[in-house]
Amino acid sequence: MRIRIVDAFTDRPFSGNPAGVLLLDSFPEDAWLQSVAAEVNLSETAFAHPLPAGGEADWALRWFTPTTEVDMCGHATLATAHVLHTTGAATGTVRFAARCGVLGATAEADGTITMDFPTSPLTPVAVPDGLEKALGAEIVAVHDTGAHIGDLLVELRDETAVRSLAPDFAALKTMSSRGTIATAAAERPDGGYDFVSRGFFPAVGIDEDPVTGSAHTALAPYWSARFGRDDLTGLQGGARTGLVRTRLRGDRTLLGGRAVTVVEGELHA
């Protein structure tokens, strides 16, 4: 079977966030899916298979980190939609049936793919004991992001504080069910993005994820409320970065980005 590695939320190879993508006829046993994801050893590997015509979705979609299955993943969904459109397996809008519900992905004329995800609910919470020490930075505010992504959204004082983080991953592992999203407003209003973020997910086997689409279902409502605008652009990452365009639509968040296939080959398993 064909296996591909796609860099998502970027228009050039070796940037953005890489994801493995396998298109299947059906889902094999979970243990096999997990073994493939561990072998690929990227933050997520996406597995998809076509569904019968006439239903609420066109493809079934699942995502696995090297250690576990997750409820929601943006960059691997973008990577899957990119593969479907570039191989001719799909046109227009593709509907995916996933653990978090039905997700849409629409290919635009300029190559951008716009995804339709549920907006994550934000609940203010007290700063957990040890979180500032684990991050190594002063915290402005903390929000819980709900069940599907299970992260703590942590605002820091400025962009420099986010960029310079060097967390204690062992300590962060116990802070939330999935991860910690550190964020701040962009320092330069003319820099091409409105806010920055970095995502740390040691609890699911990923110390740092370069560009986390699902995190932007929480970042979008957070910063849209702050800036008073529904359309924003986020820059995520440390050494490797990518841009995510967000559009808040009430209980849905649109995530836009581009992708490029960098590896294609045969899986012998």
Distance CA 17, CA 7 (A): 5
Q: Are 231 and 92 in contact (CB under 8 A)?
A: no
Report residue 16 as tokens: 């953005």
Distance CA 165, CA 156 (A): 10
Q: Residue 147: its pLDDT value, please?
A: 87
Q: Residue 111: its pLDDT value, please?
A: 87
The CB-side HSE value for 112 (13 A sphere, CA atoms) comes to 12
Helix%, strand%, coil% for the chain, nearest 5: 20, 40, 40
| Run of H or E including 220 | helix 216-227
DSSP state letter for 12: S
Q: What is the DSSP string of 69-91?
A: EES--HHHHHHHHHHHHHTTS--
Closest by CA position to 256, among listed 98, 155, 140, 117: 117
CB atoms within 10 A of CB 247: 17
Over 90: is that where the pLDDT of 84 sits?
yes
Q: How far does Cα 21 stand from its chain's mean position?
A: 14
Mean pLDDT of 69-98: 96
Distance CA 136, CA 34 (A): 33
Q: Residue 157: its pLDDT value, please?
A: 98
pTM (two decimals): 0.95
Report residue 51 as tokens: 């569904």
169-188 pLDDT, tens digit per residue, is 999 999 998 999 999 999 99
Catalytic residue among 44, 155, 159, 208: 44
Over 90: is that where the pLDDT of 109 sits?
no
Query: Is 44 part of the annotated catalytic residue set?
Result: yes
255-267 pLDDT, tens digit per residue, is 999 999 999 999 9
136-169 pLDDT, tens digit per residue, is 999 999 999 998 899 999 999 999 999 999 999 9
